[in-house]
A and B are shown apart, each in its own frame.
Chain A
Amino acid sequence: MSEILAKYGFLIVPIVKVAILVLVVLTLDAYLTWLERKVIAHIQARWGPHRVGPHGLLQPLADGIKFILKEDPMPSGVDKTAYFLAPFLTLMLAMTSLAVIPFGPDITIFGYTTNFGIADVNISLLVLFAITALGVYGFALAGWGSNNKYSLLGGLRSSAQMISYELALTLSVVGVLLIAGDLSLKHIVEKQAGDLGLLSWNIIGMSKNHGSFTQIIGCICFFIAAIAETNRVPFDLPEAESELVAGYHTEYASMKFAMFFIGEYTSMIAVSSLFTILFFGGWLSPLPASWTMTHYLPSIILLPLGLWVIYDGVRYETILGRIILPGAGAVFALLGAGLFLSSTVNEVIQGPFWFFAKVGSVLFFYIWMRATLPRFRYDQLMDFGWKFLLPVSIANVVLTSAVIMWRMK
């Protein structure tokens, strides 16, 4: 096996990684919609979807089947190039941005050492910003191509919002770049790997050689700008117009709308991953690396979780639930036990476990904000982006560089 990998590994390994990533991300997207509906519902004191499968777990499947089978009308008079290009561009750019994100440290399988993301470029942060910059076209072309005045206005507003907040997004990251000294996301995470665990992440920024400074202002600016970039509440006026009058994706139905939808959730996942890598230490554990007992945390979480799901499932109301839920619980419990017993797999799983735990918390925070906050009016939104967020990001850059220069003296 290792001979085949040594000779043809450069061809086989990326293809396998891409296949796994696409599968994982599309499933994650689908269940992110389920999670969003459940969480918002529980915050609003009602059940979410709970009929389609046990706890509504098959709802994304039902939605997918609906999107495939529904009629896909095309309005007359649309600009065919722009109309067909827009959803394709949105989805393609969102999924391409996942290629440069490192999900864990370098792993060695059968003697072949490889990066845990798909592509290991040494300007991966700039590649992500380039893809974000191109993402504006999806909305502008969707608004233009729809032959509809309201779509055009919604599309132009959405594009203007994205461009304005892109500036604050890029500037709030410069503090992290000053600390790390490198544009590669992998090196940014490795630079946060002090032995102090949580405290050496960029958000608190204690480190032994004083080369680091707390990036809490940059973190907050980045998060606000990221929410505006992905058109989520409280910045989703261009999208919410579709509830009131019309938005840029009014004239899109079934499959093309599904592409916009999946593109939005995938870009949410990409931006959350970027957020955890830059400010929260990526795949690093919050506990110091010298406490090796903490390597058993995944199994400590998975095993009781699996047993609880089995216990909850055998008393569920529907027959389908009584089969699916204990099955899922048994899978979790077996995974937990397996991780406890085999230490090589446990070492490999540490990085991605913490990474996905953090990304999951950020996504939960996104959903929580959607359920809780009202949305900005458009002029308030633009004022906030240009008159508050941009100067604060610039101030963060100046402050961080002053502190680092003073400390290194």
Chain B
Amino acid sequence: MSGALVIFFVLAALAVLGAVSLILQRHPIHSALSLILVMVSLAGLYLLMGAEFIAAVQIIVYGGAVMVLFVFVIMLLNAGEEERTNFSKLATFAGIPLALALGGIIAAAIIRSSGHMPPPAASGAMSSTGDLSKLLFSEFVYPFELTSFLILVAILGAIVLAQREN
């Protein structure tokens, strides 16, 4: 059991734990904290794969901006705990086994195709920040400019939505 496998299982267990906690928690703020745990463990997994810039961007943008936005909205709207209502019996007795069956089918499909998967490349040849930025500005410059325009539109939209009616 190499060190990388141990770290992978620890981080994967943390991520799955966070996701399950997202479902099981009653108060939205605890769900938000669980989602932050998932994102940080995913950033750890990206680091394990050698994608260090993406790991840093994940924490800065997702963990430090998007989730802060969620936490602010939950605090502003004073979202309370979810009420207990009766789940329909059909959803519980048919839904959960079907969801597990779906997960099983996808996992089986992945495992069956493992023979055709390309082997992981040597870790030394992994892309660094420089490689990523070279690609971003040469081959993907058009999507890059489009996404910057998209962010501008989103900012304007958020400002318009937040204006008071006067």
Q: Mark A residues whose CB is within 8 Å of B.
A: 79, 81-82, 85, 121-123, 126-127, 129-130, 132-134, 136-137, 140-141, 143-144, 152, 156, 159-160, 163, 166, 183
Q: Contact between A140 and B64 (Cβ–Cβ < 8 Å)? A: no
Residue B63 CB within 8 A of the other chain: yes
How far does the alpha carbon of A373 sit from the alpha carbon of B32 in the complex, in Å?
38
Q: Contact between A140 and B33 (Cβ–Cβ < 8 Å)? A: no
- Known A123-B52, A127-B56, A152-B75: A134·B64 in contact at CB below 8 Å: yes
- Known A140-B71, A152-B75, A156-B75: A133·B60 in contact at CB below 8 Å: yes
Residue B59 CB within 8 A of the other chain: yes
Q: For B68, list chain A residues within 8 Å (CB).
A: 136-137, 140, 159, 163
- Known A85-B33, A126-B53, A130-B56: A159·B72 in contact at CB below 8 Å: yes
A141–chain B nearest beta-carbon distance, Å: 8
Q: List 7 A-B contacts (CB under 8 A).
A: A82-B33, A123-B53, A130-B63, A133-B65, A134-B63, A136-B64, A156-B76
B41–chain A nearest beta-carbon distance, Å: 14
Q: Contact between A133 and B63 (Cβ–Cβ < 8 Å)? A: yes
Q: For B65, list chain A residues within 8 Å (CB).
A: 133, 163
Q: Contact between A81 and B30 (Cβ–Cβ < 8 Å)? A: yes
Neighbour of B59 across the interface among A133, A143, A159, CB < 8 A: A133
A174–chain B nearest beta-carbon distance, Å: 13
Q: Contact between A129 and B52 (Cβ–Cβ < 8 Å)? A: no
B137–chain A nearest beta-carbon distance, Å: 13
Neighbour of A129 across the interface among B29, B56, B75, CB < 8 A: B56
Q: Contact between A82 and B60 (Cβ–Cβ < 8 Å)? A: no
> In this complex, what residue of B is CB-closest to A155?
B75
Q: For A141, list chain B residues within 8 Å (CB).
A: 71
Contact with A along B49-78 (1 / 0, CB 8 A): 000110011011001110010011001100
Residue B147 CB within 8 A of the other chain: no
Q: Contact between A121 and B33 (Cβ–Cβ < 8 Å)? A: no
Residue B45 CB within 8 A of the other chain: no
How far does the alpha carbon of A183 sit from the alpha carbon of B133 in the complex, in Å?
13
Q: Contact between B64 and A130 (Cβ–Cβ < 8 Å)? A: yes
Q: Contact between A79 and B29 (Cβ–Cβ < 8 Å)? A: yes
How far does the alpha carbon of A121 sit from the alpha carbon of B128 in the complex, in Å?
12
B123–chain A nearest beta-carbon distance, Å: 14
B71–chain A nearest beta-carbon distance, Å: 6
Residue B127 CB within 8 A of the other chain: no
How far does the alpha carbon of A144 sit from the alpha carbon of B72 in the complex, in Å?
10
A385–chain B nearest beta-carbon distance, Å: 15
A81–chain B nearest beta-carbon distance, Å: 6
Q: For B33, list chain A residues within 8 Å (CB).
A: 81-82, 85
Q: For B76, list chain A residues within 8 Å (CB).
A: 156
B95–chain A nearest beta-carbon distance, Å: 29
Most buried by A among B33, B36, B56: B56
How far does the alpha carbon of A302 sit from the alpha carbon of B57 in the complex, in Å?
44
> In this complex, what residue of B is CB-closest to A163?
B68
Q: For A152, list chain B residues within 8 Å (CB).
A: 75
Q: For B72, list chain A residues within 8 Å (CB).
A: 140, 156, 159-160
Most buried by A among B29, B57, B76: B29
A-B pairs, 8 with minimum CB distance? A133-B64, A126-B56, A130-B59, A133-B60, A123-B52, A130-B60, A130-B56, A144-B75
- Known A79-B29, A133-B63, A136-B64: A123·B75 in contact at CB below 8 Å: no
Task: List 17 other contacts, CB 8 Å, given A82-B33, A123-B52, A156-B72.
Answer: A79-B27, A79-B29, A81-B30, A122-B52, A126-B53, A126-B57, A127-B56, A130-B60, A134-B59, A134-B63, A136-B64, A136-B68, A137-B68, A144-B75, A156-B76, A163-B65, A183-B129
B8–chain A nearest beta-carbon distance, Å: 19
How far does the alpha carbon of A163 sit from the alpha carbon of B33 in the complex, in Å?
18
How far does the alpha carbon of A140 sit from the alpha carbon of B71 in the complex, in Å?
8
Q: Contact between B36 and A137 (Cβ–Cβ < 8 Å)? A: yes
> In this complex, what residue of A is CB-closest to B61?
A133
B89–chain A nearest beta-carbon distance, Å: 32
How far does the alpha carbon of A81 sit from the alpha carbon of B63 in the complex, in Å?
18
Q: Contact between A126 and B60 (Cβ–Cβ < 8 Å)? A: yes
> In this complex, what residue of A is CB-closest to B36?
A137
Contact with A along B68-104 (1 / 0, CB 8 A): 1001100110000000000000000000000000000
How far does the alpha carbon of A79 sit from the alpha carbon of B81 in the complex, in Å?
12
A166–chain B nearest beta-carbon distance, Å: 8
Q: For A82, list chain B residues within 8 Å (CB).
A: 29, 33
A314–chain B nearest beta-carbon distance, Å: 54
Q: For A121, list chain B residues within 8 Å (CB).
A: 52
How far does the alpha carbon of A140 sit from the alpha carbon of B72 in the complex, in Å?
8
How far does the alpha carbon of A143 sit from the alpha carbon of B29 in the complex, in Å?
13
Q: For A140, list chain B residues within 8 Å (CB).
A: 68, 71-72, 75
Contact with A along B27-53 (1 / 0, CB 8 A): 101100100100000000000000011
How far does the alpha carbon of A126 sit from the alpha carbon of B56 in the complex, in Å?
6
Q: For A163, list chain B residues within 8 Å (CB).
A: 65, 68
Q: For A160, list chain B residues within 8 Å (CB).
A: 72
How far does the alpha carbon of A82 sit from the alpha carbon of B53 in the complex, in Å?
30
> In this complex, what residue of B is CB-closest to A160?
B72
How far does the alpha carbon of A81 sit from the alpha carbon of B65 in the complex, in Å?
21
Q: For B71, list chain A residues within 8 Å (CB).
A: 137, 140-141, 144
